[in-house]
Amino acid sequence: MRPKLLLIFVAIALLLTACNAPAPTSAPKAEPAQTQTAPTSVPPPAAPQKVKVRLTTWAGVDESKELQAVIDKVNAAAQTFELVHEPAPADYGTKLQTAMAGGTAADLMWLSHEDIIGYASRGALLDVTDMLKADTTNPAAKLDDYFEPVLASCQYQGKYYGLPWIAQPVVMYYNPELFAKAGIAEPDESWDWATFQDAAKRLTVPGQQWGTSFNGWPPPHMWVWQAGGEVISTDLKTCPVDSAEAVQGLQFYADIIYNEEHAVPEAVIAEQGFGEMAKTGKVAMFFGGAADDLDYAYTKDPKNARLKVATVPKGPKSRATFAWSAATSIWSGTKNKQAAYDAMVALTEGIHHWKIVAPRKSLANVETIAASVPGKAESAATILKALPDMRPFRVIPKYGDWNDVFWNQFMDPLFHKKGTAADLAKTARPKLEATLP
């Protein structure tokens, strides 16, 4: 074959090969670029909504301001509740009873120790016994840390209906300047009734100054206790006010009250005030609560006398002294029992570092008292000596009825010399016992 013809055949073969070749495979598609989206932000879990817990107290303007500072600290630390203070300084008892009757009472309330058992016996207060016993976290819930007589004021039929926030024993405030002028050594723990009565007479300058001042305060009960007697028996079944011991204590009291040889006459008290006369230097020995400002009132007003603190004189059997106490209780109609309990315990702890004396053994020290009320720093050691001897009133469910008989039909006639303690006690006893449970 000719070379030229061969080239033609080769060219045709190549062309046919190209026509029959498979179509080229398409190139793989490029994957779309991955866009970097910011992760969706997950909001933090919402804080649990705090339950509002209402608190009603008798606190006046100044005390309310101080209490609010305590409440603010409690609320800042609380996770489940928020305390709201609703003070009612005027007609507190009446307002409280009206609110309870109408079903609108606050969750928490302040109660004097004279009132707790009465409300508890009527079912108005929440039994917190099991909650307190199960609480191993809060210091204020540790029942064995409390002074027993004070804690007992919150008990009814073996159950607890609140926590006490103060134990204020009676102490004796005295004017060292008047003692020095009379040449009498300042009171100490050796003083008894006779020492006190003699000093009261020697410190009296008729019409100018008096050794002491009684007007139903200090409570005559403490003189009965000091003599070894009782006005209500421990089993709540009798009122042995006609016992030899009770009569001894009450007659000692009656011999001093309004007797111008020892004490301020009733008319002068009405004219010049009671505690005010001690502040102005006209009464040498005045019985007041440990929390009173009599020992540092001079720092607020230089016109006030400088008073010091001593324990009360000792009686024939003891140095027993009355201690006013108050508690925070929970209304039985509260809709938020756990929140109310949590708030009660936290508030109690806060008040224990505000009011003195805190009713707990672990806080019964000079440092706690001085930190709570700096003006009490100098008196703190003496106040602490009164704690082992303090006790509140022994209270019954119908204590209001009992109290009316005791004061109106027994003490008032005694103070106004309408009979001796022995004679009046015989008449008063059956009337008092008629109010017992």
Q: Is residue 167 over pLDDT 80?
A: yes
Per-residue tokens: 422: 């022995």
Q: Is residue 302 over pLDDT 70?
A: yes
Q: Which domains does the chain have, with CATH numbers?
A: 51-168+323-391 (3.40.190.10), 170-321+396-433 (3.40.190.10)
Using alpha carbons, select from 319, 199, 183 the residue that is nearest to residue 263: 199
pLDDT of res. 437: 96
pLDDT in tens, 320-377: 999 999 999 999 999 999 999 999 999 999 999 999 999 999 999 999 999 999 999 9
By percentage, how much of the chain surpasses pLDDT 90? 89
What is the rounded average pLDDT of the residues 106-119?
98
pLDDT bracket for residue 45 (50, 70, 90):
low
pLDDT of res. 210: 98
Using alpha carbons, select from 109, 69, 120, 104 the residue that is nearest to residue 87: 109
Query: Cα separation of 27 and 114, whole Å?
Result: 98
Q: What is the largest CA-CA distance in the chain?
A: 170
pLDDT bracket for residue 42 (50, 70, 90):
low
DSSP 139: G
List the single range of 2-16, 225-239, 309-323 with lowest mean pLDDT. Answer: 2-16
Q: What's the whole-number average pLDDT of the chain? A: 92
b (16+ CB within 10 A) / e for 245-256: bbbbbbbbbbeb
HSE of 220, CA atoms in CB hemisphere, 13 A? 27
HSE of 425, CA atoms in CB hemisphere, 13 A? 23
pLDDT of res. 125: 98
Burial class (CB in 10 A: 0-12, 13-18, 19+), 361: middle
pLDDT of res. 40: 57
Query: Cα separation of 54 and 52, whole Å?
Result: 6
Higher-pLDDT residue of 388 and 5 is 388
